[in-house]
Amino acid sequence: MRQRIIESAARIIGDRGYAEASIARIVEEVGISQGTFYRYFETRQDLFDVVLPTYAERMLEFIQKHVEVDAVGLEREMQRMQAFLDFVADHPWFARVVDEANVQAPAANAAYFDRVVAGYVRTLKRAVERGEIQGYEPDELEGIAIALLAARSYYAKVYLSSMGRAGESSRATVLKGYRAFIERALFLPPR
């Protein structure tokens, strides 16, 4: 039941925003009473504080499952981006949940940001250790991870906004642009 409430809240937030994600609307969609809601969450904010971290973990698990174990360098990064776009296509409301969390669910936003950035930094460190990425200092990797996550976020918005119109051609354009950016930013040896 707890997971059903979280899933319902995520879709409502994604469709209508946090402000419109009332307990009444959530319980109506789930088909439960408000009393049942309060067995799982003390307040609406308690629910909001777990929605984004829950979906962050699902996103990271999804990406991990869709990246080949032996993929390295640019190809590994491209597989991660493709998996991210697949996750976003399956959960088109996810971008809004992330966007509004900074104001509406700051604890959830901080947990999401910390988890995703830390994971990306670990990934970049492994690529540096394997010699796939050169010319960056270890203390620069967090900034690079943040920049790459921002790029992914905006590429996803472009992809989502064109899904109904251009479909796969939009996806190909997004992936082509991301590949060119990542290859030149990370995977070309320094001059």
> Domain locations in the chain?
50-187
Q: Which of 37-46, 89-98, 158-167 has the lowest mean pLDDT?
A: 158-167
Per-residue pLDDT, 43: 96
Classify residue 156 as exposed, middle or buried by CB count within 10 Å of its CB (0-12, 13-18, 19+).
buried
* pLDDT, average across residues 53-79: 94
Classify residue 93 as exposed, middle or buried by CB count within 10 Å of its CB (0-12, 13-18, 19+). middle
Does the pLDDT value for residue 167 go beyond 70? Answer: no
* Domain covering 50-187, topology: Tetracycline Repressor; domain 2 (1.10.357)
State both tokens at 20. 């419109």
Residue pLDDT, tens place only, 105-144: 999 999 999 999 999 999 999 999 999 999 999 999 999 9
pLDDT value, residue 48: 96
Range scoring the smallest mean pLDDT among 9-13, 146-150, 163-167: 163-167
